[in-house]
Amino acid sequence: MEKQGESVVDPKSAVGGGVDDVYGEDRASEDQLITPWTVSVASGYTLLRDPHHNKGLAFTERERDSHYLRGLLPPAVVTQELQEKKLMQNIRSYDVPLHKYVAMMELEERNERLFYKLLIDNVEELLPVVYTPTVGEACQKYGSIFKRPQGLYISLKEKGKILEVLRNWPERNIQVIVVTDGERILGLGDLGCQGMGIPVGKLALYTALGGVRPSACLPVTIDVGTNNQKLLDDEFYIGLKQKRATGKFEDFANHNAFELLSKYRTSHLVFNDDIQGTASVVLAGLVASLKLLGGSLADHTFLFLGAGEAGTGIAELIALEISTKTNIPVEEARKKIWLVDSKGLIVGSRKESLQHFKKPWAHEHEPVTTLLDAVKAIKPSVLIGTSGVGQTFTKEVVEAMAAFNERPLIMALSNPTSQAECTAEQAYTWTEGRAIFSSGSPFDPYEYNGNLFIPGQANNAYIFPGLGFGLVIAGAIRVHDEMLLAASEALANQVTQEHYDKGMIYPPLTNIRKISAHIAANVAAKAYDLGLATRLPRPTDLVKYAESCMYTPNYRSYR
């Protein structure tokens, strides 16, 4: 809202559902002077050690006088842009991705705004450093690289005292919590307490890509032990050295993820990114790819390798979108979608022995044990890998896809890169450049027969930051499936003809803040339409409203 050139956004009515913007984090407060509070006004040595307020050499002469910084800093005064240039040079000088990760985490602990400035301005370069695939290696070695705790650790030792633990967190106005129990980290299995790298990494993206305030984010790891013997034997392991507790204390691995989601989604504001976020980003890629494939979703047949939480979550959202667009029952829409698990094609004759979340996908067909035979029998136009097992899309499988599809769509979604079902180079080479390819982890562009192909990355980071931000700005009280469809459609709409010409079905991540604003606006609009929003009245232009509420990392001026 503008009034004679002045911003009339009340700081108390910005994103936080009436939560005051005390740190000056939102775009709406960029030009306002702020007081660098900690418990009292931060000054001198304390100010330089406070990552919320520290600006390093960017403190002005006046700020150095008024906040007792004289002599505590070298005399040079530099801009945030120069600091960013220097740090990017430093980070690029490291050859090992894990060293870059450590450097970024140390920066976040020292100077929060500069960390986010780097991440926002260099998103394509730094996203693989702070998130997949490097975050996987960071979690594996978290005990060795651990310096300062980030987030809240809730272990079995705290049983009965969880409220006290939550009260120990310094911030009171939390809007987004990311929680893991470390049992299934990417494709790397049980990493116990060291899974904290995932909530920390994801929340950095909620801020950098989605615009949620850093002060409103809380990473949580629930530590109930680990079944990873290597970690239990590691003297540097930072978690409980005991086998994983089961029974009443349920874990979050896929055998419980579905039950936990269905139990709480109707009563709490929760979503499971592995199930719903992955599904939404894959659906966006499928909707966008229709421009290249032709037809509607209902005209295509889908075959999945992997029937865990990601596979069945994606399949269910595809069925829901087909049902929504064609007005046929979801049960009917499911018949276009086939799943292969470790025992072969999921068919009716296996129904009795299947886990409950696989049962809706048991269609009538004779038993088929291998993926290759399933491809030949089902003749899918879309092949999606969520198996967590690398190199399972063999040359024969991909060639079979190319035999009966002019443009086979191949999505090798398993993370990290080593677990991808096939590489971009293999997909393009084995289909003679006809494949439309996307993956979970990034692959470099590949030239085939003089044509440059840019592989898509079906990265959850496209969806969950904008989805979370949309829920926050609308004050939504529940996450409805229609909001996930709205997020998918918003993402698909950001793909332009220029992108299609390069074989891309996702827009480049360089535009992610703009994309997230559109996703947030679409999600918020759906929340208002469904009567699930509490931030009233509804803003007239939700995209502009979302942009004005987004966190910006530019330094603020201090009184």
Binding-site residue set: 184, 250-251, 274, 415, 459
Q: Which DSSP symbol is given to 245?
A: P
Question: Which amino acid, residue 196?
Answer: M
Contact 118, 100 (CB under 8 A): no
* Measured distance CA(205)–CA(235) in Å, rounded: 31
Please indicate whether residue 131 is annotated as part of the active site.
yes
Binding site membership for a divalent metal cation: which residues? 250-251, 274
Structure tokens at 105: 């985490």
Is residue 379 part of the annotated active site? The answer reads no
**CA distance linking residue 393 with residue 439, whole number of Å:** 12
DSSP H/E element including 126? helix 123-130
Q: Exactly one of 202, 336, 358, 526 is catalytic; which is it?
A: 202
Q: How far apart, in whole angstroms, are the C-alpha atoms of residue 156 and residue 178?
A: 19
Structure tokens at 329: 């029952």
Q: CA-CA distance, 244 to 226, in Å (whole number)? A: 5
User: Is cis: bond before 408, omega within 30 of 0?
Assistant: no
Q: Which residues are annotated as a binding site for (S)-malate?
A: 184, 415, 459
Question: Between β-strands 2-3 and 6-7, what pairing exists: parallel, antiparallel or unpaired?
Answer: antiparallel
Amino acid symbol at 44: G
Phi-psi domain of 521 (left: phi exceeds 0; alpha: psi -120 through 50; beta: other): alpha
Local structure of 27: helix, strand or coil = helix
Catalytic residue among 131, 428, 446, 545: 131
List the one residue out of 430, 468, 483, 180 whose CA is nearest residue 324: 483
Distance CA 369, CA 389 (A): 17
556 φ, ψ to 5°?
A: -100, 155
Q: Which residues pair with 7 in a beta bridge?
A: 2
**Beta carbons of 73 and 90 less than 8 angstroms apart:** no
Give the residue carrying structure tokens 């997020």: 487
Taking each helix axis as running N to C, give the angle between helix 97-110 and helix 123-130, from 0 to 180 degrees, rounded to the nearest 10: 100
Catalytic residues: 131, 202
